[in-house]
Structure 1
Amino acid sequence: MERLQFEMFANEILSRLPTKCLARLRCVSKQWRYELSSHLFAIIHYRRMANNPYRKVIMLTKSSVDIHNLIGGKLDISSRKIISFPIDTHLSNLIILASQYGILLMCIQWRPNELILWNPTTNQFFNLCDKKPKKFLDLREDAVGIYMDSSNDLKILLLQRRKDDVIPRVYSRNTCEWKTLTFLKGADYASSLYWWSSGTLCNNVLYFSSPHYWTPAKSYTIAFDVQSETFSKVSIPQHTDVIGRQTRDP
Structure 2
Amino acid sequence: MADLPTHTIVFEILTRLPAKDVGRSKSVCKQWYALLSTRDFVRIHCSRSLVSSNQRVLLIDDLTCSVRPIISKSNDYGPSSIVTFPFHHQNNDLLLWNPTTTAFKRLSTPDSHGFYINNLDAVGLYVDTDDDYKVLHIKRRSGVLGVHVYSREVDSWRNIPFITRQEYLSPHFN
Which structure has the larger Rg? 1
Alpha-carbon contact 2:113-2:157 (below 8 Å) kept? no
What are the Cα deviations for residues 55-101 of structure 1, in whole angstroms up to 9, with x where unaligned?
A: 33334467643334445545443xx5333211135xxxxxxxxxxxx
Alpha-carbon contact 1:37-1:122 (below 8 Å) kept? no
> Alignment partner for residue 146 of structure 1, among 125, 136, 152?
125
> Alignment partner for residue 194 of structure 1, among 140, 145, 170?
170
In structure 2, runs of 5+ residues without a counterpart are none
Aligned residues: 168
Alpha-carbon contact 1:70-1:76 (below 8 Å) kept? yes
* Secondary structure, aligned partner of 1:15: helix
Name the amino acid aligned to 1:149.
D
Higher relative contact order (CA 8 A, sep 6+): 2
Name the amino acid aligned to 2:163.
L
State the shift of 1:13 in Å.
2.9
Q: Decide which structure has greater helix share.
A: 2
Cα distance in 2 for partners of 1:121, 1:143 equals 24
Alpha-carbon contact 1:55-1:70 (below 8 Å) kept? yes
In structure 1, runs of 5+ residues without a counterpart are 90-107, 197-209, 212-250
RMSD: 3.3
TM-score, with normalisation over the residues of structure 2? 0.73
* Secondary structure, aligned partner of 2:44: helix
Cα distance in 1 for partners of 2:41, 2:108 equals 25
Identity of aligned residues (%): 30
State the shift of 1:180 in Å.
1.2
Alpha-carbon contact 1:54-1:71 (below 8 Å) kept? no
Pair 1:62–1:170, CA change in 2 (3 A)? closer
Cα distance in 1 for partners of 2:63, 2:121 equals 28
TM-score, with normalisation over the residues of structure 1? 0.54
Pair 1:181–1:6, CA change in 2 (3 A)? farther
Cα distance in 2 for partners of 1:122, 1:159 equals 27
Q: Decide which structure has greater strand share.
A: 1
Name the amino acid aligned to 1:179.
R
* Secondary structure, aligned partner of 2:55: strand
